[in-house]
Amino acid sequence: MEIRQLRYFAVLAEELNFTRAAARLHISQPPLSLQIAQLERELDVRLFDRNNRRVALTEAGEAFLNDVRALLASLKDATVRARAVDQGLAGRIEVGLSGSHFLGPVPALIARYTAEHPQVSVLLNEMNPAAQLEALRGHRIDVSISRTAVDDEELQAMPLWPDPVVAALPRKHPLAGRRRLELSDLAGDPFVMLRQDTSGFARHLAEICARAGMPLSVAQTVAEVPAQLALVAAGLGVALVPRSTCRHLGDRVAVCGLPAAISRATVYAVTRRQGRRRALDTFLQTAAQMGDGEA
């Protein structure tokens, strides 16, 4: 049984006239008669009563027509879905990200993308950056929102938006009123640092301090930026954090700029070079547009 035969049957059942049905199907009448006869033989059921004057559905034909219409409608829906997935307009995207990104542009990106692409499910997987790369290589997520560029045989990074590093200070810190600081201004202050095993960004911040020749007095080490900020707000130390993560804090933490050589930082979308979902392309296009607004 072929899909073509079912389409021919459904059109003939609607027209109840071989000439009109053949014209509607853009074929001649003999092939239509042949396909209907083959379908009836395969089903071992007479679907039409026909003579020289009229064509009518049999009782079995009427029952078969209901099922065929449902089947053809399902096939049409499946075709539309397949094309949408192929065009990146439907499907699923698994996003890996750390907690700090919920404080920046990412929630707005997800909201905009899902509004523009309602047939794509965006699933957020909160994990530390090191775990994200492992999940990306293992095909458990499709994209990692990362503060560290990755470029190797398997993975690649696309810059999304700048997110400079700033100094976060307790409100009562003597330097809290300054708009900009040198890193050396914080010498001797207790630091709340990210654990270096969690991400390349954490190691980058530690290297910045080392290159500045500044010995660190580490008060606490934590896995996530929100934890850093909570401890800074409580007065337990100072921290180097992405600027976007401070926007929600109001006056709980003082934010001071740093020299460009220290503050320069970018958020990236890290993806696999091969085996990417088609919907990911439209997601990255929206992210790039968001990035233009953040630049």
Task: Walk me through the domains of the chain, giving residue ranges and CATH numbers.
Answer: 3-86 (1.10.10.10), 91-162+266-294 (3.40.190.10), 165-263 (3.40.190.10)
Beta bridge partners of 220: 192
Whether 294 and 288 have beta carbons less than 8 Å apart is answered as no
134-149 mean pLDDT: 94
How far does CA 273 lie from the centroid of its chain? 16
Q: What pairing do the DSSP bridges indicate for beta strands 91-97 and 143-146?
A: parallel
Whether 282 and 120 have beta carbons less than 8 Å apart is answered as yes
35-64 mean pLDDT: 91
Whether 154 and 271 have beta carbons less than 8 Å apart is answered as no
190-198 mean pLDDT: 90
pLDDT tens digit sequence for 13-34: 999 999 999 999 999 999 999 9
Beta bridge partners of 267: 161
State residue 247's pLDDT score: 85
State residue 25's pLDDT score: 93
Lowest mean pLDDT among 79-83, 127-131, 233-237, 241-245: 79-83
Residue 115's H or E segment, with its range, is helix 106-116
Q: What pairing do the DSSP bridges indicate for beta strands 55-57 and 48-50?
A: antiparallel
Residue 95 structure tokens:
């996003």
CA separation for the pair 178, 138 (Å, rounded)? 46
199-217 mean pLDDT: 84
pLDDT tens digit sequence for 169-185: 999 999 999 999 999 99
State residue 53's pLDDT score: 79
Residue 191 has pLDDT above 90, yes or no: yes
Whether 271 and 142 have beta carbons less than 8 Å apart is answered as yes
Beta bridge partners of 193: 221
205-219 mean pLDDT: 83
* Backbone φ/ψ region at 180: left (φ over 0), alpha (ψ -120 to 50), beta: beta
CA separation for the pair 272, 133 (Å, rounded)? 10
Confidence of residue 145 (pLDDT cuts 50, 70, 90): very high
267-273 mean pLDDT: 95
